[in-house]
Amino acid sequence: MNSISASLSSPTFADLGLSAVTLRALADEGYSTPTPIQAKAIPHVLAGRDLFGCAQTGTGKTAAFTLPIIERLLAAPGRAASRRCRVLVLAPTRELAAQIHESVRAYGRHAGTTAAVIYGGVSQRPQADAVARGVDVLVATPGRLLDLVGQRLVDLRSVEFLVLDEADRMLDMGFIHDVRRIVGLLPRDRQTLFFSATLPAEVRELADSMLCDPLEVKTAPQATSAETVAQSVYHVAKQEKKQRLVQLLREEPMSRVIVFTRTKHGADKLHRDLDKAGISAAAIHGNKSQNQRERALAAFKSPRPPVLIATDIAARGIDVDAVSHVVNYELPHEPETYVHRIGRTGRAGQSGTAVSFCDHEERPRLAAIERLIRMRIPAENAPEGVSASAEPQAAYGGRRRSRGGRSDAPRRHERQGGAGRQGAAGRRERSSRSERRSTAHDSASSAPAPAASPAPAAPARPKRSKHRRAL
């Protein structure tokens, strides 16, 4: 099964067995579809299984462990006694701890889940006070937690669930002994979820010592193509899209381009419009016969390919490596579809460019995509109603936590003399993805602490190219 069909058949959160209160919180967050690690892990954690997850930050792993744990707390209601907690989440840095704490509060909003966070570098008093009456979920960095345990301000004897996040980083930062000591203070009869981005032998060993018959889930970072494909977005009124596309196809050298529409009807209409503009194009979608599809694909693979207009489902059959450009004429409803679409270019180690058109109504979809791929797609022009000097809107939809944005945008395409629209693919400036993770801080660090709910880092504002501004 290829990735597009996988996304079409992916389960919903309700399919995973989550209850109405949790689904409500997810709706508040704007999540529509589980990420792969969520789809794989949630049903098993709900069933009480230990988990060994090889996953990076950015894959949605926080919700993958938090959601089913909240459900399990709801299924066996009870209050933690004074200074105790039912769930302990260990994280290597205070930034990550603060972020997980924020997520737990968001996902447990309607379930009434209580949570507290403990990390070093700040006064311990408010943290100890927060645990004094007992909490459902305690998120902590190891050093400060042991301090508070040593002072009898925290008691770990009632922990039913342990989550160890970023185990490899725990090792790198020298917390392994602290982690082992903490684990030794916990009841043996508990459910343990263990996450690590990489799997050095020591991590395996630590996992083996903590887990009982775990389910192993391995997931690649979800938006891999977001790293290899140069992306940009034009804010365009719906009625201007056709004209903009024609202009783009004429002016930008594109050796092989797929234009995505959302509907078959839209694909046919665009085909006619491009024909009228004298641009060679072919359309493939579900209403085309097998013959017509094969012809269109054969032409697309030829040295002088037409522009291929495709719907998402039809694009499943396209397996062509040298696609230089993907144009999202309309943004998809599901953000994951965007990732699949742009993954049609930049394949086999080649560079690729994805250009998206976004009209006023599509802006929430753009925000959802940016949330998923965890970066802001550089805009070539300011959206209507937003002054050019204004900062771009928060990519993470208001309250959600950004760990950084891309610092620059792909924007200059080298013209090939007289090659016109079907000239050789231009050189692309590719921006590297910003470092997602925040700088590591030891739990005992004396540097000033962030607020418990850190504000998202402001992503760099992308520059705009002169030639594109004219579009």
Residues that bind ligand AMP (CB under 6 A): 31, 33-35, 38, 57-63, 371-372, 374, 396, 400-401
Name which of 219 and 255 has its Cβ closer to ligand AMP.
219
C-beta neighbour count of 349 within 10 angstroms? 7
Cβ of residue 382: shortest distance to ligand AMP, in angstroms? 25
Cβ of residue 392: shortest distance to ligand AMP, in angstroms? 17
CB-CB contact of 166 with 57 (8 Å): yes
Q: Which residue type does 140 have?
A: A
Name which of 169 and 401 has its Cβ closer to ligand AMP.
401
Cβ of residue 249: shortest distance to ligand AMP, in angstroms? 32
Name which of 325 and 374 has its Cβ closer to ligand AMP.
374
Q: Which of 137, 95, 86 is nearest to 116 (CA)?
A: 137
Name which of 327 and 367 has its Cβ closer to ligand AMP.
367
CB-CB contact of 122 with 89 (8 Å): no
Strands (E), 219-371: 229-235, 257-260, 281-284, 307-310, 325-328, 352-358
Q: How far apart are CA 372 and CA 222, in angstroms?
A: 8
Cβ of residue 140: shortest distance to ligand AMP, in angstroms? 18
Q: Which of 145, 64, 78, 142 is nearest to 114 (CA)?
A: 78
Name which of 7 and 261 has its Cβ closer to ligand AMP.
7
* Tokens read off for 347: 């394949």
Name which of 292 and 453 has its Cβ closer to ligand AMP.
453
Q: Which residue type does 414 have?
A: E
Name which of 59 and 192 has its Cβ closer to ligand AMP.
59
Name which of 60 and 405 has its Cβ closer to ligand AMP.
60
3-state secondary structure of 135: strand
Q: Please, where are the H alpha helices in 321-452?
A: 335-342, 363-373
Q: How far is CA 372 from the centre of its chain?
A: 3
Cβ of residue 359: shortest distance to ligand AMP, in angstroms? 22
Cβ of residue 38: shortest distance to ligand AMP, in angstroms? 6
Cβ of residue 59: shortest distance to ligand AMP, in angstroms? 5
Contacts of 173 (CB under 8 A, 6+ apart): 92, 93, 440, 442
Angle, nearest 10°, between helix axes 201-210 and 176-184? 10
Cβ of residue 192: shortest distance to ligand AMP, in angstroms? 18
Cβ of residue 75: shortest distance to ligand AMP, in angstroms? 22
Name which of 28 and 129 has its Cβ closer to ligand AMP.
28
CB-CB contact of 64 with 35 (8 Å): yes
Q: How far apart are CA 298 and CA 237, in angstroms?
A: 34
